[in-house]
Structure 1
Amino acid sequence: MTKLLLIEDDAETAEEITAELADCGFVVEWASNGIDGLDKARALRPDAMIVDRLLPGMDGLTVIEALRKDQVRTPVLVLSALGAVDDRVRGLRMGGDDYLTKPFAFVELIARIEALLRRPAESRDRTLRAGPLELDLIERTVKRGDRVIDLLPREFRLLEYMMQRCDQLLTRAMLLEEVWNYKFVPATNLVDVHMGRLRHKVDGPGDIPMIHNVRGTGFILRTGV
């Protein structure tokens, strides 16, 4: 059975997460603070971890950083009430594999854990790859083949989100919520404007297009180029 380690200081939240995951067949070990969580992560070597960002004893990101320095590549989902882009970026830079903002739906938590577990071990590092695209989460650089692509912070986050969901249709509502942190869908062409700029940079002259507009619905990053 798949073993998960949950590091969460709120007992009620931890109990709810554990119950939901147990219903899906996961075996969950719980730690209520960062120090205990780091010890259990080293001793148990779980298949995946869920780590709250703000923990007593040792901050969640410090726990993750310590594990990465030990060359522990266990996939980690970071939980946090801090949802700004800079906060998510810091979570990824410190070694997190995915970032989920509180409050969240349990169905999404489970889906993200399942997605992390499906990733091949060699891809659990700082680099995302999609066809000829390569995105470095730490250095904040992007290349298409040998060509370096200079992106603005929002463009980088948008491409990162798309590369994590290659060949999936992403609606404008999804992008507004996940990339811009909107909790509602405003009447705006914000996504289309940024996507237009991103497509111009990713799909250069002579390149086979990777970013496709699905009329009236959203966008897809296709890897079969």
Structure 2
Amino acid sequence: MSSSRPLIGVTLDSEPGTPQGGGYSRYPWYALRRNYLDAVADAGGIPVALPHCADLAPDILARLDGLVVTGGAFDVDPALYGADTRHATVTLKSDRTRAELALTRGAIARDMPLLGICGGQQLLAVALGGSLVQHIPDAIPGALPHEQPNPRHEAGHQVAITPGTLLARVTQAARIAVNSAHHQAVRTPGEAIVCAIAPDGVVEAIEHPARRFCLGVQWHPEFAISVADRRIFAALIETSGSR
């Protein structure tokens, strides 16, 4: 890229609109919390929002230096990881998942630096052949409240980081406090390895050991509640700017 700042694609959420009125628009619209984009810009990247156009994924990726797959209040279709049933709590956004899956798989194939956040981490696991826990409260006895009751800009619990991993090198920490806003989790990581877990055993981060920077975290580092969160974005941008 011609700019000294790497161009980082950031995936958007979407809503169908409210024909009866009362919402942002009567027509379908994209949305994203601004702290996702601010985190990329503050770390030295140029954030660019990406539409849900799966067929454009190769052309989009050809113009990017890195990719952030964001979270949202929806789930990956269990059929994509071979599940025979769908939990009653599962909510789908099929167009978004189709586009994000195309972008994620394309980024992995190109060895493009990639950061998956919350649902983006779960999608990364599925893209790498893994599977998900569809509803933590029903699947893990005594689990922590991973949909934390306190605000998202505060910590919900701690995670233990696996020594010797990319995440350990990036964060320079063995244990960090994170926020938590999810009802699903990674069950099996596929080609990835688990690099952080919660005290109740829930997978909190995964990474692909054969890629330069292919990391998924279950929490939301864009809120920057710790130095480690800022270091994650800094490492993404640094790797995206190198060849």
Bigger share in helix: 1
Structure number with higher relative contact order (C-alpha < 8 Å, ≥ 6 residues apart): 2
TM-score (norm 1): 0.30
TM-score, structure 2 as length reference: 0.29
